[in-house]
Amino acid sequence: MPFKHNADRRHRIPKVRYRVQNWPVYEAGLKRRGDLTLWLDEDALSGWQAPRRSTPGGQAWYSDAAIELVLMLRLVFHLALRQAEGFAASVLRLFGQALRVPDHTTLSRRSRNFAGRQPRMVPNGALHLVIDSTGLL
């Protein structure tokens, strides 16, 4: 029996039990996990559509700020591209905006331009995502 050989010398990790001492603080922390606050600048919403290009080829529908917004929401909430598309659409609907949201193929294609600027990891704790006409701050 290979698993019983040297069993007396095998490292044993004791089980540590976490007991909540302060229930009101613990419960308030659980409630804060579901708190979501988003700020969108009016200039950012007005610049949602991409400006017309004078170069040959198809015209872009969405500005870089719109693509960056959806990609940042995707990064913060650990979403797939289709889920990020749906989440951004629901956020804009809650704001009362009748704006089109980039589809997942557009996000995938245009995300290559932002690959170097995206943070790899979101810090623990509160994260303030502020969007104005210049992009994400």
Are the beta carbons of 53 and 62 closer than 8 angstroms? no
Report if residue 53 sits inside a domain: yes
Report if residue 77 sits inside a domain: yes
Report if residue 74 sits inside a domain: yes
What does the pLDDT read at residue 59? 73
Other Cβ atoms within 10 Å of 112 Cβ, number? 8
Residue ranges making up the domain that contains 70: 35-136
Nearest to 73 by CA among 131, 32, 29: 131
Amino acid (one-letter) located at 120: R
Nearest to 91 by CA among 73, 106, 75, 79: 73
Report if residue 11 sits inside a domain: no
Judged against a pLDDT cut of 90, whether residue 83 lies above it is answered with yes
Query: Rounded to two decimals, what is the model's pTM?
Result: 0.61
Report if residue 113 sits inside a domain: yes
- The DSSP code sequence of 5-54 is TTGGGS--PPP-----S-HHHHHHHHHHHT----EE-HHHHHT-BPPPP-
What does the pLDDT read at residue 45? 78
Report if residue 23 sits inside a domain: no
Report if residue 15 sits inside a domain: no
Other Cβ atoms within 10 Å of 44 Cβ, number? 20
Report if residue 69 sits inside a domain: yes
Which of the four pLDDT bands, split at 50, 70 and 90, describes residue 57?
confident
Domain count, the chain: 1
- pLDDT of 100-127, one tens digit each? 889 888 888 888 777 666 555 556 666 6
